[in-house]
Structure 1
Amino acid sequence: MRTAMAAAALLAAGGTAQAATVSKSAEYTCPFPLINEQPIVAEITTELPETVEVGETVGPFQVEATTLINEDSRTGLTLVGSTTLEGTAQAKQTIITPAGSEPLNVSLTIPETDIPQTTGSFEVPASGQAPEVSFDDADVGSNNTIELGNLTLDITARTADGSIAPDPIGEFVADCTLNADQDPLLHTFEVVPGGPTEDPADIAVTPEAVDFERTQNGLTAEQTVTVANEGDLSLGINNVTLSGPDADRFMQSSDCTSVAGGQSCTVTVTYFAEGDATHNATLTIDSTDADESSVEVPLSGESFTEKVPMISVDPTEVDFGTVTVGQTQQQDLTVENTGEAVLNVTSVSVDGDTSLSLVNNGCVNVNAGATCPVTVAYAPTTEGTNTADLTIESNADGNPVLTVPLTGEGGTGSTVDFLLDVEGQSMIEANGGTLPLNGTIDAVLNLSTRMYEADLTLEKTSGTFRIIRFFSHLKAQADVAFEQVGKTTGSLIDGTLTSKSKAYVEVPKVRVSLFGFGLPIGGGDECRTAEPVTINLESPEGETFKPLEGGNLTGTYELPPLENCGALTDIINQLMAGPGNTIDLSLTPQL
């Protein structure tokens, strides 16, 4: 006998055995707190089979029971203010066949039950479930029995407010004994030899193919495959694998090991979409099905990239510099949709100092690759620094809120002009030669902000450099001119002058001296640096610069490569281009 049969309850029997109704009233003696031993009566009605075949499964069993509690027990519970009781019960039975006897403990749940506050006994229900029952050849016989045993109650009594009642009634365990003066027999049944041979394991897989359809690139999709056993005997699942050209784009996990007759298990398949492509693989399930030991399930999925809008803005920050109080300066910005779907700009606003404001918003719906304008303005009303943020809200992927910092300096407008002569030299690190420098600087200094703008004019110059090639010392002479880009800007604070200048460096002629002759090797009207050179200068430490008296400036810079200088452009760049160049200037007022 592999498992025991439940008793002392109402049992709903499964399987094919014909069930008969059995009724019995069982009396128990239970030791209760305060009131000592008390009798209780359990009314048992059972649906039990009269005949069971070997190998036939009966159950599982739904257990229902009703117990009658006497007046003394009710009085003991109410003495401490109990209004409800609840808990569990363990019903002990024994099933006896020619193979021997086996105990079975059935766990029952006692739901919350009202305790009557008036005189009289009352009923307490309980319910639970016992396991399946099956028998083997050793159990065959006509006089198999089920006998009742003892009962254990685990009770919690509660007062009207839901709290546990005072000890010893509040929580107690009572080991109830089946009264000895009654017959414990509940039921007699017969176990007969088994019927026809069970059907072999038979695998059935659904669905027969899995199509994940369209899944966005970078996301995953999940579907399940059900593996069922349509036979009677257990089906063993030996292996579940993935194969095929795109097997790495799929993953499987399962709880399939052994599947009982009529039962099933699940294989979960996950698809990892990547790129813009269709992916295919095969899920293979190997089992102990004698007729179909291997089942293949085709897998397919289509990955696609969703077109989304993206946003950029130029410039990414706006510095109005110094603007005279009472005047207004505007700045245009360009918003661009760098994505592949329409960009919807839902809001453009400026938050911060009120002197910074939005003038024009030309952005609403921006097609892919298109741009739109936004204009902001600065109108200082007092001296000092003003800041705000230009905020652009849109449906841009990954960056729906774009912020552009805005700054400006309000000034009084008081300025002083000064014109200075420039004289000095620059050492070219690439060849060790020097270029003499002469020119003028015409500057306007704002007395309130100490910032200035200037026009820097440098005269054409030339320098002689030494070249070492083929173990011979050659001299090269280069003519150099400067094309200013924008204004020279800087500050004069506490006697320290700083400046930033940009200029293209032009080399109209380069020649070498060979046997007393000057041979041109490059240069020309289009020969100049590929981009402007940036020169940052500052007063030497410890020196004071005065606009009306002048002073000195020093700095370093990198000379970008030259282009359009003829066939020997690379050689000329070896002479000229590179970092580490120094510059020293002396500025004196024009008389």
Structure 2
Amino acid sequence: MTRKRRTGRRAALCAVAAVAASGLAGLAAGPAAAVPATLELDYHCTFPLIGPQPVHVSLSADVPETVRVGEQMPGIAVESTATVGAASTRALAALGTATLEGGARADANLTVPEMPGGLPVQVDVELERTDVPASGEFAVRGSGKAPDLTFSRPGPGAVAVGNLVLTLTPRLDDGGPGGLGTFESECVQDPGQDNVLASFEIVDDATGGGDHAYAVEGSSVLETSGGTVPLTGGMTLALGADGARADLALDPATANVSLFGFLPVTAEMRLDDAGGGTAEVAGGVLTTTSALTAAFPSFRVFGVVPVGGGEECRTAEPSELTLTSGPGFDPAAGGRLTGGYDLAPLAGCGALTGLIGDAVTGPGNTVDLTLTPVSEARR
């Protein structure tokens, strides 16, 4: 009989744990369009008489990608389902349990720019009263709602799920408490797990949003020849509520490459915008994508003897250049972007098109750029 009592307690607590943790997902709710987020976590809950026991929790929630500075972020209601196994059902039935009910206090840690060390948040979760069948599995459902929050600074945010304190009451047919009574259990998360449920971006229409213009400086390395191309130019970044866009304009440049591995060639090079530039800021990281066509007005051996090029000398098709910032990118301050692109074969460069093309085209080319706000670049 003692063994059955213990098994029943574990089954009920597992159900409450799943419901309790699901309420944490509401911390990242906001007015922006939400995307699904899921997380699986393991806990050890300390129960009376039997000590720590493992509990597995599955979380799911709709979490927005962006939240605006100064705008109240309402907590959302999150639904959760825990399945109780047949063996636990038999144990609960043996104790005369007709229904289960209870609740939990769930901890979470919200990391945002104004609180880089984390903001502790507690969520109260209610478990629906659930009928316990005589045999077989049964589902326990619950819901929780996080508190409303408002942020004062733009930047990346993240929600990490923490520990749980559970309270559970098994009840008999007459509605009275079962032999276990109402009891409390602390659940500690197993170490070494990724407990971040979701990441999001806090944007400020006054600084993070809107239009930004940058001076661009950096370089590109052509993988085939190892030649370095110094790059300058500009970029405009438009961040609006309905989407984002990046337009990259690079100045003509000169690449020093080699033919046959030893013959020095100076190539005049342009990376022309082919249209369709996109941008995205997610989790504090800026990603831009640009379509570029590489044009080569001239190739000169020793910088003097022409061996190809011209107005029609360009890659056969545009290249996609994807650039990514590090974490915590601030659109108002600019920063470093790195990425890569491939160059399609050349066409229209003269009799030596194939030969000179081998020195500049191919996959694996890299780009390293620094964006400086135009107002600062002019100082």
TM-score computed with the length of structure 2 as normaliser: 0.44
The structure in which a higher percent of residues are strand is 1
TM-score computed with the length of structure 1 as normaliser: 0.29
